Structure 1
């Protein structure tokens, strides 16, 4: 969609035109599942100092004690 060029105007087609023609919400291109767009969804907010996997082993050890 964003890479196609209008033969008449010589400009790229915009998101508004795409949504008007396909009768889709403007958020539709961004709401694609992670596999369809090749992007992975990340957790919002600040990143913790340790990953979930790094915290799991000490938590399991503490529970085992």
Structure 2
């Protein structure tokens, strides 16, 4: 995927996140993509995935297909 400007991204993390610092943050970005980053390293790299792939990933977690 091409570089995406994340400077204006609105990052959020799950309300289920633990306070131990081991969290990821996500942001909806341009062109139907979702950026994912390590909350401990907010200025580090971000993984870009399609919004459809992200929705599928979350669906699999919620349904128990992916381990908890």
* TM-score in same-fold range (> 0.5): no
Which structure is larger by alpha-carbon Rg, 1 or 2? 1
Q: Which has the higher contact order (CA 8 A, sep 6+)?
A: 2
TM-score, normalised by the number of residues in structure 1? 0.26
Instruction: Point out the structure with the larger helix share.
Output: 1
Instruction: Point out the structure with the larger strand share.
Output: 2
TM-score, normalised by the number of residues in structure 2? 0.25
